[in-house]
Structure 1
């Protein structure tokens, strides 16, 4: 039986897509470096590294070699009562890379679930310490932390993807991200009034990604850390997008010189090969779960938690960060994004152009015809996925200057041609 409303689509429910009138998706046949080879023979330069994951480019031989060896040994074994060398290696290496005493790693297989676990940790932290009533998270407008039910509750409540579920998930405390002294005073006052309800503050450091690639200064994070300490609440940094070099440092929090109580990692963790996520807690958070009472344990355990292949891929990715000049490449990439996208600033319909690390953003006044815009980009040989009013580039750190110029040139051309507007 087939779905007659989408005769050109396979029997796959695509993400973020109205399936009734969705155009047929492109069929990817293979990947190589920063290129996607399609079944019909076309080749696209990937401008977003498969949702920011393929930071070293596709099919890196070192990651592939380590995966091949691990596949022969053991692709997976349950973590319940067992451990294995890849998870021991990865945990040791993450603890050595992360700031401060972020050294207890809990593994899941998606960013949303990593945030769910962080929320669960934060709430149970207070329960285990005998503190009642701290059951809410404080998050920020324009924030995004995932599509599962609990994570939707800490996303922007007005954001279109999740507004249908208002009233379904628990009500959290949503505030404006404080960008000046008035905003900080307002947040300080909110925490003074409602801190007794709040288990943790959660924020995307430096960049609110899916909310519109909105940047904020490292000083904002410094003040959030100060406020969290003043009001005795935990601080969770969601580095699923920003971690592993995307903002110019290995982790975004390094630019603020702060240590969160809990950090979430995914996306580029395995270099874009296999799903893996980590929720890493500081020692004092972990120790709140140590008890003679069995019920004080963290009762969570995904079936494929710390999958051996995925942990191996993550270790191989960390090898590349250690052996190859990734941060220098990111700095050069950042410079190329700035020079390549700057001409857009003078074009009609452009509201802003901004770059941070390996993130380049052109914000438009509006995108009237998203389908036309995406088709125009593909016709120019690039794979870029604009959303809302944003055309953004987050390519692999290993992209060549030639391919980067192709990407920035394509973005500039579609804006100059008005491909984001409806044809009258």
Structure 2
């Protein structure tokens, strides 16, 4: 007899949504023992989300960096609704469909460099997994033993095992470090170490690939570095026959001021990983693109040279249509104007607070601005200041999710000047009060 768990999981009409959540949900990146009650969001509109009591919050972090055009965008919603009545999903092994082909046709020409093929997955982590497998198997298919992987210290590329392996060792990976494959981590390039780094890379003949977050290391603390030094690293990789992977999961689709961060580079990557803003924040979808040179290394009568990777929801038609609608909006002139407007507003705010005693460091790239709070201790994701800041801004109706003692603003591009000014004013108040 099957166990009767109906009573245990039946919604209790006497409980509110937060209380019901506490009974059945395990939230991400959350120590559930002492977690604050989770705020029940019932709808979204533009840059705002609303809780069940009607309180409005400015989504200043784009709901984990995914929402670029605002919540519940009517144009994206319309296209998704239309697709639901045509084809919701079909297996992508042995079959294809118009939304997937059209998205690839529209995406490839606007990507930096010469990207020729699209491989669909589900999210940023899986896009990275595919990129790593492409590189390692590329060399294996060519009969060459190249297995070393190069990455940046403090990098973050996702939470699956391959993605964790190429991410900097941190609290995110501590429990699994003995199980992760070896990776060589290097410092972010700057004027003092670039000569050493390029010389070092030229000696790494057994290296399969170099994976990097271009210009900004997101979860590592919104650490920023200059394109000209990354360019030199990519040049050294090219000269040493090291494949390069640009993880543009966070930086893609306008975040750095251009459509893609790698547009700022002379040397372009061999592989690009995309997700987050790809669908405008509507639903999950991942993309790994590559050059024809990489793709052709898998063409063979030998079936062992096949890229054996796939997901049940690969190239989901609804997600592809959402991405096409998001691209329509992204490529409008007014969207680029909004990106430049946000970028300019951030720059003015930076100048206003950069000398404040509690500002340990402040940095900006495109629509992203990060403020490192002075605590008297080293910067840490586990800083006690994090919860104080988080609660302070929530009370003011602003969602800012600090990385320890680092707060950042990464808003949808449609955010108004008034809402930006409100956020800036709240940060100034926090600098005085906390």
TM-score under structure 2 length normalisation: 0.91
Alignment partners' CA distance in 2, 1:76 and 1:97: 26
Deviations 1:64-111 (A, max 9, x none): 111111011011111011100000100001111112320200011110
Structure 1: which 5+ residue stretches go unaligned?
419-424
1:387 aligns with 2:403: yes
CA distance in 2, matches of 1:395, 1:316: 19
Q: Which residue of 1 aligns with 2:60?
A: 47
Structure 2 Cα separation of the partners of residues 312 and 116 of structure 1: 24
Structure 2 unpaired stretches of 5+: 1-7, 10-18, 376-382
Q: Tell me how far 1:15 sits from its aligned partner.
A: 0.8
Contact kept, 8 Å, 2:150 with 2:185, in 1: the verdict is yes
SS in 1 for 2:89: coil
Match of 1:160 in 2: 171
SS at structure 1 position matched to 2:205: helix
Give the Cα–Cα distance (whole angstroms) in 1 for the partners of residues 255 and 71 of structure 2: 16
Establish whether residue 194 from structure 1 lines up as the match of residue 210 from structure 2.
no
In the alignment, what sits opposite 1:309? 318
Aligned residues: 411
The alpha-carbon deviation at position 129 of structure 1 amounts to 0.7
Contact 1:342 1:353 in 2 (8 A): no
Cα deviation, residue 341, structure 1: 4.3
1:21-420 mapped onto 2 (5 Å cutoff): 21-132=34-145, 134-157=146-169, 159-180=170-191, 182-196=192-206, 198-366=207-375, 367-418=383-434
Contact 1:340–1:409 (CA under 8 A) maintained in structure 2: no
CA distance in 2: counterparts of 1:234 and 1:66, whole angstroms? 37
2 CA distance for matches of 1:116 and 1:190?
A: 26
Contact 1:344 1:362 in 2 (8 A): no
Question: Equivalent of 1:20, from 28, 33, 36?
Answer: 33
Over aligned residues, Cα RMSD in angstroms? 1.6
Q: Is the 8 A contact 1:348 1:416 kept in 2?
A: no
CA positional deviation for 1:411: 1.8
- 1:296 deviates by 0.5
Aligned residues of 1:66 and 1:313 also touching (Cα < 8 A): yes
CA shift for structure 1 position 122:
0.4
In 2: Cα distance, 1:118 partner to 1:94 partner: 17
User: Which residue does the alignment assign to 1:421?
Assistant: none
Aligned mates of 2:180, 2:209 — CA distance in 1: 17
Contact 1:344–1:415 (CA under 8 A) maintained in structure 2: no
Q: How many Å apart are 1:11 and its aligned residue?
A: 1.3
SS of 2:289's partner is: strand
Cα distance in 1 for partners of 2:46, 2:285 equals 21
Distance (whole Å) between structure 2 residues aligned to residue 106 and residue 55 of structure 1: 23
